[in-house]
């Protein structure tokens, strides 16, 4: 029974190796959704809507950026810095564009909720470090196997 559990853990670790950026993006979406639900229950649903819109303005470009990096995986290492920095600039531009679009669509903007949603989404990946702290130090299939 224990051997099967260890094999399942190794298989899961191998599956998750290289996908930590998607875990961080997923953590962003979950954090914004839960905090938005809390905002709606404690305050009002208009504030919750702006909270979620602010968080989505950061999480959606991050998800697209993570997808772009995943697609680029396996190509020449010399091209990584170019893809990364251009992707960062595009991500920031898309985030600002989405925020401007939200402000343009709504006559009355709840700025506090919008900015707090943005902050929660941007700080959520820092909590991924707390989760990763408990992860195994040696991932199966990593370059350390050599």
User: How far is Cα of residue 113 from the mean position of the Cα atoms in its chain?
Assistant: 19
Residue 44 is predicted with a pLDDT of: 97
* 7-46 burial code (b ≥16 CB/10 A, e <16): eeeeeebeeeeeebbebbbbbbbebbeebbeebbeeeeee
Residue 12 is predicted with a pLDDT of: 45
Residue 134 is predicted with a pLDDT of: 60
Alpha helices per DSSP H over the chain: 2-16, 20-42, 45-72, 80-105, 111-133
Question: How many CA atoms, within 13 angstroms, populate the side-chain half-sphere of residue 99?
Answer: 21
Residue 129 is predicted with a pLDDT of: 72
Q: Name the maximum alpha-carbon separation found in the chain.
A: 60
- Rounded Cα distance between 96 and 58, Å, is 9
Residue 20 is predicted with a pLDDT of: 72
Helices 45-72 and 20-42, packing angle to 10 deg: 180
Q: Pull the structure tokens for residue 132.
A: 């990763």
Residue 16 is predicted with a pLDDT of: 47
User: Mean pLDDT, consecutive 10-residue segments, the chain of 146 residues?
Assistant: 46 52 88 97 97 98 92 84 93 97 97 97 84 60 51
Residue 139 is predicted with a pLDDT of: 53
């Amino acid at each position: 029974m224990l051997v099967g559990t260890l094999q399942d853990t190794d298989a899961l670790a191998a599956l998750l190796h290289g996908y930590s950026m998607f875990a961080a993006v997923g953590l962003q979406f979950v954090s914004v959704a839960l905090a938005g639900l809390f905002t709606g229950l404690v305050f009002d649903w208009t504030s919750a809507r702006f909270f979620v819109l602010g968080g989505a303005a950061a999480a959606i470009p991050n998800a697209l950026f993570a997808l772009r990096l995943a697609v680029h995986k396996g190509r020449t290492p010399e091209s990584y810095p170019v893809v990364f920095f251009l992707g960062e600039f595009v991500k920031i531009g898309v985030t600002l564009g989405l925020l401007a679009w939200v402000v343009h669509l709504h006559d009355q903007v709840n700025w506090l909720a919008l900015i707090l949603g943005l902050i929660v989404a941007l700080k959520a990946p820092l909590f991924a470090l707390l989760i990763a702290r408990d992860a195994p130090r040696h991932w199966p299939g990593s370059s350390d196997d050599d």
